[in-house]
């Protein structure tokens, strides 16, 4: 069993409209845009990162806004709900805020004894806020959401699978342990969960149709490891177990490896180093368009092609 995984690093999803996406995360949810760059594999598409003040692993929600792609159809083999942590007693604030901002499909429920507010993103993305005791992660405090109510980072993701068994086994190999079960949902946690985003839920829907990915779908879930040495240990262990893992890829703000899981969800393992301040001052994170070295020669073309984003 691996000991290197510290919890979630980031969650990456797809959207249709960069401006709408930016406004939802920075204004409605009050996160900080910590990086404005492009999809390294398709540089005519943005890669936008929303997080806490500095983009600590476990707080980072990222998007590829592909203009005009169709909406995804939710189903099995994907992340069903991405869940953020908020302080106890704040869901009333968020419910009022969401009503005022016209957020869709807002509903209240409880899972494993924790109160949740479920809601949809601009492309039907499945989200929830959950009240968490003792989440000491400092929030981004310069948004419109007061610090006492603000999002602290990820709480969990819920994987919606036809058959959760093999993915559960994989997560246990990655260091996760059983926490609880409620109906068709199993909760696992990585012990110690250093970065606060330590939980994964597996929701099993045996008769469910497979998802068709599109705008509003999660593209992949990334798990955090401290550094490149730890990442190589994880890569070797996964490869030895029979997983097809990509080589280590430099994503400028972290190093990444990717592999497809038995339930269909794409997993990534990312390093905490070097972080989002490697090419910008903390005070100005996310303001300028940052391009990786290999695409810098395309800057003029990209700046005129990419949809301008008004903050």
Contacting positions for Zn ion (CB under 5 A): 12, 222, 268
Please identify, using beta-carbon distances, which residue of 171 and 256 lies nearer to Zn ion: 256
Please identify, using beta-carbon distances, which residue of 93 and 258 lies nearer to Zn ion: 258
Closest CA to 103 of 214, 25, 217: 25
Query: Least distance to Zn ion from the beta carbon of 111, Å?
Result: 26
Token pair belonging to 61: 């929600």
Q: Is 269 helix (H, G, I), strand (E, B) or coil?
A: strand
Please identify, using beta-carbon distances, which residue of 91 and 266 lies nearer to Zn ion: 266
Alpha-carbon gap, residue 82 to 93, rounded angstroms: 20
Query: Least distance to Zn ion from the beta carbon of 279, Å?
Result: 18
Please identify, using beta-carbon distances, which residue of 131 and 268 lies nearer to Zn ion: 268
Query: Least distance to Zn ion from the beta carbon of 55, Å?
Result: 13
Torsion of Cα atoms, 91 then 93 then 94 then 99, to 10°: 130
Query: Least distance to Zn ion from the beta carbon of 135, Å?
Result: 23
Please identify, using beta-carbon distances, which residue of 237 and 249 lies nearer to Zn ion: 249
DSSP 140: P
- 268 Ramachandran zone, left/alpha/beta (phi>0; psi -120 to 50): beta
* Cα 152 from chain centre: 13
Alpha-carbon gap, residue 33 to 127, rounded angstroms: 18
Query: Least distance to Zn ion from the beta carbon of 47, Å?
Result: 9
């Amino acid at each position: 069993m691996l000991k290197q995984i510290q919890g979630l690093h980031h969650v990456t999803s797809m959207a249709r409209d960069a401006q709408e996406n930016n406004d939802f995360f920075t204004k409605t949810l009050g996160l900080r845009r910590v990086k404005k760059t492009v999809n390294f594999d398709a540089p005519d598409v943005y890669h936008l990162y929303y997080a806490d003040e500095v983009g600590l692993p476990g707080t980072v929600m990222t998007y590829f806004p592909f203009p005009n792609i169709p909406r995804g159809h939710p189903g099995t083999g994907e992340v069903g709900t991405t869940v953020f942590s908020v302080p106890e007693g704040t869901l009333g604030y968020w419910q009022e805020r969401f009503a005022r901002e016209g957020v869709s499909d807002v509903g209240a429920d409880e899972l494993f004894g924790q109160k949740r507010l479920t809601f949809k993103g601009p492309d039907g993305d499945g989200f929830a806020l959950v009240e968490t005791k003792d989440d000491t992660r400092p929030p981004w405090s310069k948004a419109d959401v007061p610090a006492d109510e603000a999002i602290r980072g990820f709480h969990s993701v819920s994987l919606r699978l036809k058959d959760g068994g093999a993915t559960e086994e994989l997560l246990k190999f990655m260091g996760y342990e059983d926490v609880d079960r409620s109906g068709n949902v199993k909760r696992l946690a990585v012990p110690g969960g250093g970065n606060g985003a330590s939980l994964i839920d597996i929701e099993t829907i045996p008769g469910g149709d497979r998802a068709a990915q599109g705008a509003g779908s999660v593209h992949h879930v990334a798990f955090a490891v401290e550094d490149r040495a730890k990442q190589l240990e994880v890569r070797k262990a996964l490869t030895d177990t029979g997983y097809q893992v990509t080589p280590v890829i430099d994503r400028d703000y972290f190093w990444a490896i990717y592999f497809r899981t038995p339930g269909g969800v794409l997993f990534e393992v990312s390093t905490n180093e070097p972080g989002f301040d490697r090419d910008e001052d903390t005070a100005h994170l996310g303001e300028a368009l940052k391009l990786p070295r290999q695409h810098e020669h395309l800057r003029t073309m990209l700046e005129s092609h990419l949809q301008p984003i008004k903050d």
